[in-house]
Amino acid sequence: MDYIPVIINLFFLIILLALGFFVGSWQERRHFREIEIRERDSLHLPLLTAKTLDMAPEQVESAYLVQGSAVISIDYFKRLLAGLRNLVGGRISAYESLLDRARREALLRMKESAPDASMIINVRLENAAIGMSAQQGNLGSVEVLAYGTAVKLKAGHEIRS
Amino acid sequence: MKYVPKQPEGNVNVSEQNPLREFFVLLGGVLGFLVAVYFVLGWMVDLVAPRISPELEKKLGVLISNSYLPEQEDSSSSAYLNTVLARLADDRCFSYTLPVQVHYSSSEVVNAFALPGGHIVINRGLLEKLKSENELAFVLGHELGHFRNRDHLRSLGRGLIFAALSTLVLGTDNSLSGFISGSMEVSSLSFSRRQERAADAFGLNVLQCAYGQAGGSTAFFEHLDDQSQNLARRYLASHPTSPDRVRLLKQLIREKNFAIDTTALIPLPPWGE
């Protein structure tokens, strides 16, 4: 018979939503800007999904596994937005940007882990929902793992860009 | 084969959509739909409530009322309250499909409420505000009016619909569950102002019928005005304001030519131990 706890609950909900919205979208904008700069800086390193390249073994100096992974969390506002979207269906744009950030960040980290490679072949992406709410069937955070084979060509055999 | 470094323009993987706009459109749509469903189901409850059989109401009473009934009842106060109630519900002035019973609660909150199964609960906080048996009889008559109009079953039905809808949408394990259960308690025990006015009019008739005069009917609200305490104001939040109710009661007394004899008011015994 008391309205006070109701008002307190509603107040905290609005505070969390505002925090999620303002901090979440500020961070997202900043992350996208940073990703674009780093993508431009690492443009010289080609990424290929092909498993094999027609190349003589003596051209290759070394080949090794490289990987990069990124874990991005969803904010409170987007979680509620996605929950509402779940009721009626349609594109969950709140998750689209989350996954896009995680994919590009993982690819960048993979590239940055092989600064002297000539190219990375057989590039694959894996993703997983992690965090406490993943067990309950909700998306809490998303991990994207990018991996591939870095190939370093011998001097004189590089691909010129 | 030549490698041409190139950065794509724009982002095809993320929809261009204003998230705030999307949020409010979705929230508004979903809430609007739920409100519509709530009103349609509430209307159906109003159709069904008068047709609930005494046997079913008795079962509902066992299921629901028990959680609201006071655990330990003060026997002398309860016995006295029930003799007053018996004078009102003597088949001449009031009869119901179930035997009615009143329970004394030691809570200090100024409140009285009607529950399914013919149960009335009166808190000590409200009893302390009363100055005569006639005032008590009016309060009991008011609650009997809720029984007669089936208001207790209507509000129970609406409360259940509200709980069912919120569980459907939010699930049982949700950060909003406390919010919902809080509102659920509020909505399941409160009646609309129209229902309160009808119960007031009914209580007045019962008082006149059982005591031969309408003295004491307006006194309770007038005391509340004198000392509008915090607790009393909270109780009245779901009710029409006291001056409105006093005005309506006085108008009814005039229209029906009910007698008022303030010298014949019966004093009350002390409450509790």
Q: What is the CATH number of the domain that holds A70?
A: 3.30.110.70
Give A48→chain B minimum CA distance, Å: 11
Flag whether pLDDT at B102 surpasses 60. yes
Cβ contact A87–B169 (<8 Å): yes
Flag whether pLDDT at B232 surpasses 70. no
Q: What pLDDT, on the 0 to 100 scale, is given for residue B29?
A: 92
Give B251→chain A minimum CA distance, Å: 31
Tell whether B1 is covered by a domain.
Answer: no
Cβ contact B19–A3 (<8 Å): no
Size of interface A-B (CB pairs under 8 A): 80
Q: What pLDDT, on the 0 to 100 scale, is given for residue B64?
A: 73
- Give the residue-averaged pLDDT of B21-37: 90
- Give the residue-averaged pLDDT of A98-123: 95
Closest partner residue to B7 (CB to CB) among A1, A2, A40 is: A40
**Residue of chain A with shortest Cα separation from B7:** A40
Prediction ipTM score: 0.78
Which of B6, B9, B14, B188 is the best substitution to test chain A (most A C-beta atoms within 10 A)?
Answer: B14
Q: Which of B46-50, B178-182, B246-250, B268-272 has the lowest mean pLDDT?
A: B178-182
Tell whether B216 is covered by a domain.
Answer: yes
Tell whether B4 is covered by a domain.
Answer: no
Tell me the pLDDT band of B230, cut-offs 50, 70 and 90. very low
Angle A93-112/A4-41 helices, nearest 10 degrees?
40
Give B4→chain A minimum CA distance, Å: 6
Q: What is the pLDDT of residues B132-190, one digit of tens each?
A: 888 899 999 998 998 888 888 888 887 778 778 777 776 655 545 555 555 555 444 56
Tell whether B6 is covered by a domain.
Answer: no
Cα A102-A105-A107 angle, rounded to 5 deg = 110
Per-range mean pLDDT, top range of A87-91, B262-266, B269-273: A87-91
Give the mean pLDDT of chain B. 79
Cβ contact A43–B7 (<8 Å): yes
Tell whether A161 is covered by a domain.
Answer: no
Flag whether pLDDT at B200 surpasses 80. yes
For residue A65, the surrounding DSSP H or E stretch is strand A60-73
Q: Which domain holds residue B229?
A: 21-264
Concatenate the DSSP letters of all residues of B116-128 into one string: TTTEEEEEHHHHT
Q: What pLDDT, on the 0 to 100 scale, is given for residue A108?
A: 97
Say how many Å lie between the first and final Cα of chain B, rounded.
99
Tell whether A149 is covered by a domain.
Answer: yes
Q: What pLDDT, on the 0 to 100 scale, is given for residue A74?
A: 87
Cβ contact A6–B183 (<8 Å): yes
Query: Which comes out higher in pLDDT, residue A25 or A4?
Result: A25
Q: What is the pLDDT of residues A14-51, one digit of tens each?
A: 999 999 999 999 999 999 999 999 999 999 999 999 99
**Cα four-point dihedral sign B188, B192, B197, B198:** negative
Instruction: Provide the percentage of residues in chain A whose pLDDT is more than 70.
Output: 89
Q: By the CB < 8 Å criterion, does B234 face chain A? A: yes
Give the mean pLDDT of chain A. 88
Give A70→chain B minimum CA distance, Å: 18
Cβ contact A25–B19 (<8 Å): yes
Chain B residues near residue A93 by CB distance under 8 angstroms: 14-15, 17, 19, 22
Chain B residues near residue A78 by CB distance under 8 angstroms: 19
Instruction: Provide the percentage of residues in chain B whose pLDDT is more than 90.
Output: 5
d(Cα B13, Cα A96) in Å, to the nearest integer? 7
At B177, give phi and psi (nearest 5°): -65, -35
Flag whether pLDDT at B94 surpasses 80. yes
Flag whether pLDDT at A71 surpasses 80. yes
Q: Which domain holds residue A119?
A: 4-153
Flag whether pLDDT at B233 surpasses 50. no
Cα A143-A145-A149 angle, rounded to 5 deg = 175
Tell me the pLDDT band of B89, cut-offs 50, 70 and 90. confident
Q: By the CB < 8 Å criterion, does B53 face chain A? A: no
Tell whether B202 is covered by a domain.
Answer: yes
Cα B233-B234-B240 angle, rounded to 5 deg = 70
Residues 6+ apart with CB under 8 A from A113: A66, A67, A68
Tell whether B16 is covered by a domain.
Answer: no
Tell me the pLDDT band of A67, cut-offs 50, 70 and 90. very high
Q: What pLDDT, on the 0 to 100 scale, is given for residue A101?
A: 95
Q: What pLDDT, on the 0 to 100 scale, is given for residue B32?
A: 92
Could you give the number of structural domains in chain B? 1
Tell me the pLDDT band of A103, cut-offs 50, 70 and 90. very high
Cβ contact B182–A40 (<8 Å): no
Tell whether A160 is covered by a domain.
Answer: no
Tell whether B13 is covered by a domain.
Answer: no
Could you give the number of structural domains in chain A? 1
Tell whether A47 is covered by a domain.
Answer: yes
Chain A residues near residue B17 by CB distance under 8 angstroms: 93
Q: What pLDDT, on the 0 to 100 scale, is given for residue B185?
A: 52
